[in-house]
Amino acid sequence: MNKLNQSQEFKTQSNLGDRIVAGLVDYIIIFTFFFVYVYSFGEPNDEGGYTVNGLPALVPVLFWGLMTVGFEQWLGATLGNLLVGLKPTSILDNDEKLTFAQSFKRHLLDPVDMFFFGLVGIVTIKNSEKNQRVGDIWAHTIVIKK
């Protein structure tokens, strides 16, 4: 059976409430780190805020990668997904473990899925055959209840 046919075997539930809670947990942690980091290590700017320049500006990006892609690779799910009992899985591979590329693709499109308070992701999950958000469709993944 080829990989395309295998993907037709998967049927999921939307788990929309759990997915919203998981996303909120993950991004509350990420944004809290970002604001604390910028406030602690940034320099005041002319607009009354703080700015981090140069290599230190990569720290929040690396933290985002660790909290999303890193945790999915090491733990099988982000902290939010672990909290609510969800697990992203591959629809292309028999062992269902996400590759690094799949995990990166899923989360690279988080801003698209979260656009307008998550409306894009919610509409996509509700209207896709396998209850996938845009990032899941691109990465060939689904999110299942553990």
Would you list the DSSP string of 89-124? EESSSTT-PPPHHHHHHHHHTHHHHTHHHHHHHHHH
Span 136-145, pLDDT tens digits: 999 999 999 9
Span 80-99, pLDDT tens digits: 999 999 999 999 876 678 99
pTM of the model: 0.84
Mean pLDDT of the chain: 89
Query: Residue 16's domain spans which residues?
Result: 3-145
- What pLDDT shows up at residue 10? 57
Q: What is the mean pLDDT of residues 105-133?
A: 91
Structural domains of the chain, count: 1
Cα separation values, 30 from 48, 70, 146, Å: 23, 13, 24
